[in-house]
């Protein structure tokens, strides 16, 4: 659904006659151009998976990470303009650090998500600044409140989810996520499924090489957000690749 | 003209006082006497309430300059009520204690008041925190403060046990306050006690003549 908002789309401080702020919609398009990131909440934690496209063989492995640590217990996966995302990660870190300093305990994820969403929203009000061109998914785990997952988009709204996807293949990823019974799965089971989904939605033709970034926070990590350990990641990638081959084989049989 | 002084003798209306807070199995008891004095001689009020409610299940006891204590609790109440609406849940006792600590520490040069914050929250159950004069914050099971507290340290050390029942803890607190009020010039009046549990808040007032009497009274 593309429409040209000629004349009403030059600044975020202008509404179009049909009540839209085009700059914000264009910012969301920037997110749709980026590669996919997904976050899924299961019974005892949250798992993030990011399809990080590698544009050149000269890049050092692991550079330009798209999963950030916001606080010990909160992780953030991003899609869109990476520079904008980094700046928002810094904002989120300051918010949670200030909260701990003022109130003596970890910031609840809903509150952090509301605060960062308010910040993102502020940039959609004025013509002097442009909206942030990134969406991000925040996840945390607390032993009393359980796992939580929130997504914030460039318009400044935040939603709570059981599973969500952002980026170019978000529709395909959402379809795959809906097939999962995430409420009954543990993090260890989920990590393999997340890897599989990223492999499924990755477009081999248009984008060649990619790195899979996986992270989790849950009972398995004692409430700390961490990148998934090497052995678990390798097991998950192997499961993902094997599942894809099986599907290819079964396609051949059907023919 | 009142000259503000930072040594141990407080000018102006002060709460030469006895305050205490103790954790029992399922809740906290917070108690205080009710005397406000000017200098060492004049009792300006016999029925002041030093146990201030800062949120539904969180109370503060104040010792030191009464004006400072009221100003700080007023600011803390506002801050906590706003925080609790934003969080969409009652604030933690630790959050209340941190708010008070920040107020005390950032204004330490001008203020002269110390607090106990005690209450119940869903995450950690019953808790007692002490915010001392300069802004130190520590978590304890039982704590006493004020000029009258010096006379009952031995009693607290000997008689406090963790996980008491509500009735045992109330009796313990009443006895402690009565002993302090009996020996401290600057403490007296009635004993105000507040019991905070998950279910709610109960106020108990023990008038002077109903306080327990000890051997030489």
Q: What is the pLDDT along chain A (255 residues), one digit of tens a residue?
A: 456 667 888 888 999 999 999 999 999 999 999 999 999 999 999 999 999 999 888 989 888 999 999 999 999 999 999 999 999 999 999 999 999 999 999 999 999 999 999 999 999 999 999 999 999 999 999 988 899 999 999 999 999 999 999 999 999 999 999 999 999 999 999 999 999 999 999 988 888 888 999 999 999 999 999 999 999 999 999 999 999 888 777 666 655
B-side interface with A, Cβ within 8 Å?
83, 86-88, 91-92, 94-95, 97-99, 102, 122-123, 137
Question: How confident is the model over B181-208, as pLDDT tens digits?
Answer: 999 888 888 999 999 999 999 999 999 8
pLDDT (0 to 100) of residue B13: 56
Half-sphere exposure of A69 (CA within 13 A, CB side): 11
pLDDT (0 to 100) of residue B48: 82
Report yes or no on B75 lying in a domain: yes
With 50 as the cut, is the pLDDT of residue B7 above it? no
Report yes or no on B213 lying in a domain: no
Q: What is the total residue count of chain A?
A: 255
Residue pairs spanning A and B at CB distance below 8 A: 27
B17 in active site = yes
Give the nearest partner residue to A103 out of B88, B95, B123, using CB atoms.
B95
Report yes or no on B10 lying in a domain: no
Q: How far apart are CA A241 and CA A106, in angstroms?
A: 38
pLDDT (0 to 100) of residue A254: 57
CATH number for position B65: 3.60.20.10
Q: Tell me the CATH number for domain A32-54+62-243.
A: 3.60.20.10
Rg of chain B on CA atoms, in Å: 16
pLDDT (0 to 100) of residue B126: 96
Three-point CA angle A209, A214, A217, nearest 5°: 170
Question: How confident is the model over B158-181, as pLDDT tens digits?
Answer: 999 999 999 999 999 999 999 999
Report yes or no on B6 lying in a domain: no
Enumerate the residues of chain A whose CB falls inside 8 A of the CB of residue B123.
Answer: 105, 144
* pLDDT level of residue B216 (50, 70, 90 thresholds): confident
Q: Which domain holds residue B147?
A: 15-208
Q: Which of B15, B17, B18, B117 is catalytic?
A: B17
CB B36 within 8 A of CB B21: no
Question: How confident is the model over B18-69, as pLDDT tens digits?
Answer: 999 999 999 999 999 988 888 777 888 888 888 999 999 999 988 888 888 8
Give the residue among B53, B34, B82 at the shortest CA–CA distance from B201: B53
Question: Would you state the structure tokens that stand for residue A237, as one six-digit string?
Answer: 């990638």
Report yes or no on B3 lying in a domain: no
Report yes or no on B8 lying in a domain: no
How many structural domains comprise chain B? Answer: 1
With 50 as the cut, is the pLDDT of residue B5 above it? no
Report yes or no on B146 lying in a domain: yes
Check if the interface score ipTM surpasses 0.90: no
With 80 as the cut, is the pLDDT of residue B1 above it? no
Q: How far apart are CA B34 and CA B211, in angstroms?
A: 13
Percent of chain B with pLDDT over 90: 56
């Amino acid at each position: 659904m593309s429409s040209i908002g000629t004349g009403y789309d030059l600044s975020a401080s202008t509404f179009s006659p049909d009540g839209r702020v085009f700059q914000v919609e264009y910012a969301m398009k920037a997110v749709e151009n980026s590669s996919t990131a997904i976050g899924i909440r299961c019974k005892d934690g949250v798992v993030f998976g990011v399809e990080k496209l590698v544009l050149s063989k000269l890049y050092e492995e692991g550079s330009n990470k798209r999963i950030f640590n916001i606080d010990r217990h909160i992780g953030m996966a991003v899609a869109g303009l990476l520079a904008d995302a980094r700046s928002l990660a810094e904002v989120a870190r300051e918010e949670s650090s200030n909260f701990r300093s003022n109130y003596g305990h970890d910031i609840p994820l809903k509150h952090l998500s509301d605060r960062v969403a308010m910040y993102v929203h502020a940039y959609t009000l004025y013509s002097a600044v442009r909206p942030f061109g990134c969406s991000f998914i925040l996840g945390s785990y607390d032993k009393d409140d359980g796992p939580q997952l929130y997504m914030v988009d460039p318009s400044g709204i935040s939603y709570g989810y059981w599973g969500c996807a952002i980026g170019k293949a978000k529709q395909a990823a959402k379809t795959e996520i809906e097939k999962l019974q995430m409420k009954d799965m543990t993090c260890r089971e989920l990590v393999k499924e997340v890897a599989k989904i990223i492999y499924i939605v990755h477009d081999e033709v248009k984008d060649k090489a990619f790195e899979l970034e996986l992270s989790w926070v849950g009972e398995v990590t004692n409430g700390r957000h961490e990148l998934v350990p090497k052995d678990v990641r390798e097991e998950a990638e192997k499961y993902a690749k094997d599942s894809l081959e099986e599907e290819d084989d079964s396609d051949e049989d059907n023919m | 003209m009142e000259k503000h002084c930072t040594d141990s003798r407080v000018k102006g209306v002060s709460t030469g006082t006895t305050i205490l807070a103790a954790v029992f199995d399922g809740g906290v008891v917070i108690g205080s006497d009710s005397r406000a004095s000017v200098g060492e001689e004049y009792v300006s009020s016999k029925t002041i309430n030093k146990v201030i409610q800062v949120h539904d299940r969180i109370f503060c006891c104040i010792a030191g300059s009464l004006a400072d204590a009221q100003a700080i609790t007023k600011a803390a109440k506002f801050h906590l009520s706003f925080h609790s609406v934003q969080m969409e849940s009652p604030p933690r006792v630790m959050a209340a204690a941190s708010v008070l600590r920040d107020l005390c520490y950032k204004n330490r040069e001008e203020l002269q008041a110390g607090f106990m914050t005690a209450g119940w929250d869903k995450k950690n159950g019953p808790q007692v925190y002490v915010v001392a004069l300069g802004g130190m914050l520590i978590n304890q099971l039982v704590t006493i403060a004020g000029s009258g507290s010096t006379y009952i340290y031995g009693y607290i050390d000997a008689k406090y046990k963790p996980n008491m029942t509500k009735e045992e803890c109330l009796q313990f607190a009443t006895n402690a306050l009565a002993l302090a009020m009996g020996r401290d010039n600057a403490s007296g009046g009635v004993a105000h006690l507040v019991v905070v549990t998950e279910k709610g808040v109960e106020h108990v007032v023990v008038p002077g003549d109903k306080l327990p009497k000890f051997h030489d009274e």
